Amino acid sequence: MKYLYIFLLVPILSFGQASTLNNARTLLDAKKFEKAEQLLSTYVKAHQNDKEGLELLGDAYGHQKKWDEAATHYKKLTKLESSNANFHYKYGGALGMKALSVSKIKALGIIGDVKSAFLKAAELDPKHIDTRWALVELYMQLPGIIGGSKSKSLKYAKELEALSKVDGYLAKGYIYEYDDEPELAEKYYKLAINVGGSLTCYDKLTKLYEKENQPEKAIANLESSGKKHQRNAMHYQIGKVCAEYNIQLDKGRNCLLTYIENYSAKDGVPKAWAYYRLAQIYKNKGQKKEALKWIDKAMLSLPKIKVFKKEKQKIQKL
């Protein structure tokens, strides 16, 4: 009878473990990271070598920017399963984020471990796209004196291109943009759009045009994106560019009004910012009364935004 009891208990315990981990995933998906951390901390204390529990706890810490704790748990995973590329990638990522949050002197002592973790992940999994992206960015951002290298960055961009042409083109666009070669960056972002055409591809090119003070090109690219993806957010982006650069003001106004009319939470940018951009457009047109009307609506919706108050002061000087 004793053995029958043990036999029945094992699946019950397994079910309890699975239920805890499923609850933790639900909390993470709901962005309730602190609650997930509390649940998983208790779980991991009782199951110290449970790889799934350790990974989820590392994720919970990472979402809260607790990089030391996240790195500790990911490092343990690399010891438990040294051949798992994703564990090395996550460990390197947590260390990399920690390096960004500390002084430059402290960061120097971390960078070597970051690089080693990413290189190990790349070695273990020749098809690991995220790791190669991490290496592209790492080698571009590091100063040459501590291992930065454009040629190494391009090497991993080429590996990305072999795995995914879109990722490869975006990576090359990033490299050339970072290296202040906007024409080459534009070339590769356009290639990414031609091959993939995702919102990310269009957004990268739009931001490049804005950065290079080419608003007309930015607007044209946004309009192309809108035709393909039919998203309301495009109307806000066009209005924003028109307002900031004082160009095509009637188009900008119409786009912002369309954005407001069709607004839903999934559009991301609150309507108050569209009111603010309309105020800018009317200010640029010299229409003080209309500008004040819209900036007051913006301030009423989001009263704590300082830039709205500054804009009202500018309008009042018209």
Q: For residue 154, which phi and psi values (nearest 5 degrees)? A: -65, -35
Q: What is the mean pLDDT of residues 237-245?
A: 97
Q: For position 263, what pLDDT does the model report?
A: 95
* Whole-angstrom distance, CA of residue 202 vs CA of residue 164: 17
Nearest to 99 by CA among 65, 76, 54: 65
List the helix and strand counts (H, then E) for the chain: 17, 0
The answer, yes or no, to whether residue 126 has pLDDT greater than 70, is yes
**Which residues constitute the domain of residue 162?**
135-214
* Whole-angstrom distance, CA of residue 44 vs CA of residue 6: 23
The angle formed by the CA atoms of residues 178, 184 and 185, to the nearest 5 degrees, is 45
* Whole-angstrom distance, CA of residue 183 vs CA of residue 171: 15
Q: What is the mean pLDDT of residues 112-136?
A: 95
| Averaged pLDDT of the chain | 91
Q: Please tell me the total count of domains within the chain.
A: 2
Q: Are residues 28 and 116 in the same domain?
A: yes
Q: What is the mean pLDDT of residues 282-291?
A: 96
The answer, yes or no, to whether residue 1 has pLDDT greater than 50, is no
Q: Are residues 171 and 194 in the same domain?
A: yes
> Do residues 196 and 166 make contact, with C-beta atoms less than 8 angstroms apart?
yes
Q: For position 5, what pLDDT does the model report?
A: 47
Q: For position 238, what pLDDT does the model report?
A: 96
Nearest to 237 by CA among 228, 246, 221: 221
Structural domain ending residue among the three candidates 125, 158, 177:
125
The per-residue pLDDT for range 185-234, each reduced to its tens digit, is 999 999 999 999 999 999 999 999 999 999 999 999 999 998 888 889 99
**Residue 244 token pair:** 């900031």
Tell whether 144 is covered by a domain. yes
We report the CATH number of the domain holding residue 55 as: 1.25.40.10
The per-residue pLDDT for range 156-177, each reduced to its tens digit, is 999 999 999 999 999 999 999 9
The answer, yes or no, to whether residue 145 has pLDDT greater than 70, is no
